[in-house]
Structure 1
Amino acid sequence: MNTRSGSGSGNSYAPDEQPDGPAAVLKALRDYREAEVATRRSTRDSTGMGETDLIALRYLLRAQAAGEQVGPKDLSRVLQITTASTTTLIDRLVGSGHVRRDPHPTDRRSLVVVPTVAVDSEVRTALGAQNSKMLAVAEELSADEARIVISFLRRMGEAVSGPGAAQ
């Protein structure tokens, strides 16, 4: 018999208890999220950058690899922050040597934000090993397993962000 301890919310289990299938899935998902948060905290500590800075740099590196130009408005949209916050972010990243502002190649009135060569190496060092390990785990999935996991994670995303989701 499985009895949940705690508030009855399904979030707390006795240490030696084996929850049923759905509860075990949700617990594994929570455990993963906790591990990911701890890893991100460690990455922020080791690089001296905040979460938004790292997200911005990853976006800039992907855009650069795709041959895309990124302006401040693009960063504001992707990061969902105000233009004032974006200016502060860019100033901070320019000051730390992670990005530079260049003239837009076709619009003299605009600027583009470009990651420096050093940042590519720094971000790869900070995130590369973790990403490689995660990719190796994902590569172990069969095509059918991958489809199931993708479907599950998309539906979970919709469940937590869709209408009626907790605020």
Structure 2
Amino acid sequence: MTSQSEAAVRAGSYWYGEEDRTRRAISVLNAMRRYRSAEAAMRRRTRSAMGMGETDLLAVQFLLQARRAGRQISPKDLAAELGISSASTTILIDRLVKSGHVEREPHPTDRRALVIVPTLTSDEEVRATLGRMHGRMLEIAESLPPEEAAVIAQFLDRMSDAVDDAETDDAAGH
């Protein structure tokens, strides 16, 4: 199936120019859109397989990454990472504790505080659900020559900045 933007480029629409560099740019942008669609579908399948919502999955992934990095995560840290209120964080943590994905533990140095840690079961479930796909993605990225990997990483960083700047522009009313 052909996307509207691909058809528009072939038809020489008013939206995009006819120049070769514009056609190349549109091809890259369309490839990015296909990747984002594939990634969104993968996230839906993962959430369904794990029986969680988007925020739940993001929380578990954040907690697993923090554990691998040796960082302790408080409910406040989790709220900041997810951009949600402390009340929503409490509900989220309660739900993840009930489902067996996380545990509340005493902070190692502050007896008044708690840390949130992913369970071993949660780690195994994420690995079982995403491991093969992550392996395939890593294999593809590792197959790139160093120069191409650097160019792609720089390009994606610049695209991220452009999207972040667009969010800032939207918030400022531009």
TM-score (norm 2): 0.84
CA separation of 1:83 and 1:4: change in aligned 2, threshold 3 A: farther
User: How far did residue 58 of structure 1 move?
Assistant: 1.2
Structure 1 unmatched ranges of 5 or more? 11-18
Q: 1:9 to 1:84 in 2, by over 3 A?
A: farther
Percent of aligned pairs with the same residue?
Answer: 51
Corresponding residue to 2:143 among 118, 140, 143: 140
**Residue 129 (structure 2) aligned to one of 126, 130, 138:** 126
1:3 to 7, 11, 30: 11
Give, in whole Å, the separation in 2 of the partners of 1:2 and 1:125: 42
In 1, Cα distance between equivalents of 2:163 and 2:100: 37
Secondary structure of 1:131's aligned partner: helix
- Taking the TM superposition and a 5 Å limit, the aligned residue runs for 1:70-85 are 70-85=73-88
Any unmatched runs of 5+ in structure 2? 1-8, 17-21
Q: How many residues align?
A: 157
- Residue by residue over 1:103-132, the C-alpha shift from the partner in whole angstroms, topping out at 9 and shown as x without a partner, is 111111100101111111001111111111
Residues 51-93 of structure 1 show CA distances to partners (whole Å, capped at 9, x for unaligned) of 1111111111111122211110110111111111111110000
Q: CA 1:9 to 1:92, structure 2 compared with 1: closer, same or farther past 3 Å?
A: farther
Superposed, 1:1-167 pairs within 5 Å as: 2-4=10-12, 8-10=14-16, 20-162=23-165, 165=169
RMSD: 1.8
Runs of 4+ in 1 over 2 A off after TM superposition: 1-5, 163-167
Greater share of helix residues, 1 or 2?
Answer: 2
What is the deviation of 1:36? 0.6
Report if aligned partners of 1:70, 1:112 keep a CA contact under 8 Å in 2: yes
- Find the aligned partners of 2:129 and 2:53 in 1 and give their Cα distance: 13
Contact 1:160 1:166 in 2 (8 A): no
